[in-house]
Amino acid sequence: MPNSAPHWPAPTAARPVDATVGLPGSKSMTNRAYVLAALSETPALVRRPLRSRDTDLMAGALRALGTGIAPHGEEDVLVTPAAPQGPATVDVGNAGTVMRFLPPLAALAQGDVRFDGDPRARERPVGPLIAALRALGADIDDGGRGALPLVIRGRGALRGGPVTLDASGSSQFVSALLLSGARFTEGVEVRHEGPPVPSQPHLDMTVRMLRAAGVQVDSGTPDVWRVAPGPVKAGEIAVEPDLSNAAPFLAAALVTGGRITVRDWPRATTQPGDALRGLFTEMGGQVALDDAGLTLRGTGRVRGITADLRDVGELTPTIAAVAALAETPSRLTGIAHLRRHETDRIAALVREVNALGGDAEELPDGLLIRPRPLHGGVFRSYDDHRMATSGAVIGLAVPGVEVEDIATTGKTLPDFPELWAGITA
């Protein structure tokens, strides 16, 4: 979609950043919490959920299906479940979590539920999930496309049982079936067959949050997950700060040789962003986790990295931005599935780094970035929140970088420009 707003002049760091930041809640945890709460037996409290485009879309969709979702105090949200009801229309925007987590829930609804979203949402994979739901008893009209738009003709219940699918395109296919699986008459047994499933921490997050809601999950066999039929009891779910959105802030300390502390960093978490501690240490930072939060200190040196990012693909745009400023080459692999994220992130990163004078090259499943001095210019974001924040990271070290459509950060972090101004002031 053409964007007519003026470009955002990325602040260049006049001195090393030195700041402490508190970040809003995790998108992935918030949208899982809303689904589990909506499927619960009794009202559930979601503590400190994220407010952003993706989470507002999830809340809006659940409301359209009859769930009560209302603020509770300053920071929390009370979810009052109801048997899902059509006819309803779900706008998924460009949220993978809405596009994948809600079709299984819609199959439990009484009535038709129509799904559509941004033009890009129609290009993002959902076919293996649709096929799996059909095998589990759902009636779905997708016009034979295996993609959005589609209509789920809910009958108030879904048989469930065993199903095999290829989830190499997105871990969200598996998470989706598991999240609603306890409410299927026979529960669900999901078996993956194909190249490896990406985003293992997100699968762990699904399993952990289900168990915390009293659901019996067996994940003891690789590539097989069993959810027993039974009630969901979400009770109270506390949402952690979004550690993937911590990435550009920690990167700011790394590339300016400064210090950033991210408050309330969990001691134990399933969020993929926790891997930043190791990745950014390898790239030249010094990291400490204590009561103040996670502190990253830059050393003035930024090193390239060779890394398989399959498990933490979401972190790629930020790591690539740091790599573009590094003294030595980087090789990022295991991330072919990123070509079907918000945009083709591999192509977009290579194009934008090279547009600033850099030396990046696509691989079938990743990218190579070699050191070369960058210059100012427009960094395009392709409706991708993580592209926009990556442009901001490069702009700290390279004068004259302008990020196109900074507002796209609203997908998961609407406060990004203000928070960034806070660390660069």
Ligand X SMILES: C=C(OP(=O)(O)O)C(=O)O
* Residues assigned a catalytic role: 314
CB 97, CB 27: distance < 8 Å = yes
- Contact between 314 and ligand X (CB under 6 A)? yes
CB 127, CB 147: distance < 8 Å = yes
Q: Is 52 annotated as a binding residue?
A: no
Candidate list 170, 330, 390, 408; residue touching ligand S3P; CB under 6 A: 170
Peptide bond between residue 125 and the one before it cis (omega within 30 degrees of 0)? no
Q: Is 233 annotated as a binding residue?
A: no
The entry of ligand S3P, ligand X, none near residue 55 (CB within 5 to 8 angstroms by kind) is none
- Contact between 202 and ligand S3P (CB under 6 A)? yes
- Contact between 386 and ligand X (CB under 6 A)? yes
Q: Give dist(CA 304, CA 284) in Å, integer.
A: 9
397 in helix, strand or coil? helix
- Contact between 172 and ligand S3P (CB under 6 A)? yes
Q: Which residues of 54-73 are buried (b: 16+ CB within 10 A; e: fewer)?
A: bbbbbbebbebbbbebeeee
- Contact between 318 and ligand S3P (CB under 6 A)? no
Name the helix (H) or strand (E) containing 115: strand 110-116
- Contact between 404 and ligand X (CB under 6 A)? no
- Contact between 97 and ligand X (CB under 6 A)? yes
The entry of ligand X, ligand S3P, none near residue 171 (CB within 5 to 8 angstroms by kind) is ligand S3P
46 in helix, strand or coil? strand
Q: Give dist(CA 206, CA 188) in Å, integer.
A: 14
- Contact between 96 and ligand X (CB under 6 A)? yes
Q: Is 304 annotated as a binding residue?
A: no
The entry of ligand X, ligand S3P, none near residue 199 (CB within 5 to 8 angstroms by kind) is ligand S3P
- Contact between 180 and ligand X (CB under 6 A)? no
Q: Is 345 annotated as a binding residue?
A: yes
Q: Which amino acid type is present at position 244? A: S
Q: Is 192 annotated as a binding residue?
A: no
Q: Which of 192, 217, 222 is nearest to 205 (CA)?
A: 217
Q: Give dist(CA 376, CA 374) in Å, integer.
A: 7
Candidate list 168, 175, 245, 316; residue touching ligand S3P; CB under 6 A: 175
Q: Which amino acid type is present at position 210? A: L
Tokens matching residue 331: 């090789």
Residue ranges in contact with ligand S3P by CB under 6 A:
28, 96-97, 170-172, 175, 198-199, 202, 313-314, 337
Residue ranges in contact with ligand X by CB under 6 A:
95-97, 314, 341-342, 386, 412
